[in-house]
């Protein structure tokens, strides 16, 4: 279950929030002026998110290691050519 609480109320009830989140497995969204600014989550969820993030970065590192190094100006030139091609195609279709 997710609790939504104002920052002022969260200050007043901080010990209770710790119990609800830490021991009760709740998630608390703290708002300021009606906008969410922070989430309090159980440490188990935090650890899971950190582990998943690490796995994703390992995948990205593997992909990056297989892609040849390309200079920035080469990328810019490829993008410029791709844009020209799309614009020429749009012009030919009358778009």
Could you read off the pLDDT of 27-75 as tens digits, one per residue? 999 999 999 999 999 999 999 999 999 999 999 888 888 877 777 788 8
CATH pick for 2-41 out of 3.40.1620, 1.10.30, 3.90.320, 3.30.450? 3.40.1620
pLDDT for 63 equals 86
For residue 81 the two structure tokens come to 């050519």
Would the pTM of this model clear 0.75, i.e. be above it?
Answer: no
| Residue ranges covered by each domain of the chain | 2-41, 45-93
How many angstroms separate the Cα of 73 from the Cα of each of 14, 68, 78? 53, 15, 9
* Ramachandran quadrant class, 34 (left: phi over 0; alpha: psi -120 to 50; beta: rest): left
The Cα 18–Cα 12 span in angstroms is 12
Q: Is the pLDDT of residue 20 over 90?
A: yes
Give the SS3 label for residue 88.
Answer: helix
């Amino acid at each position: 279950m997710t609790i939504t609480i104002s920052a002022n109320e969260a200050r007043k009830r901080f010990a209770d929030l710790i119990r609800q989140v830490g021991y009760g497995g709740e998630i608390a969204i703290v708002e300021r002026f009606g906008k969410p600014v922070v989430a309090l989550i159980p440490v188990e969820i935090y650890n899971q998110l950190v582990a998943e993030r690490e796995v994703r970065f390992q995948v990205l590192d593997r992909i990056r290691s297989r892609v040849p190094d390309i200079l920035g100006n080469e990328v810019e030139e490829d993008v410029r050519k791709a844009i020209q091609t799309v614009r020429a195609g749009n012009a030919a279709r009358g778009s």
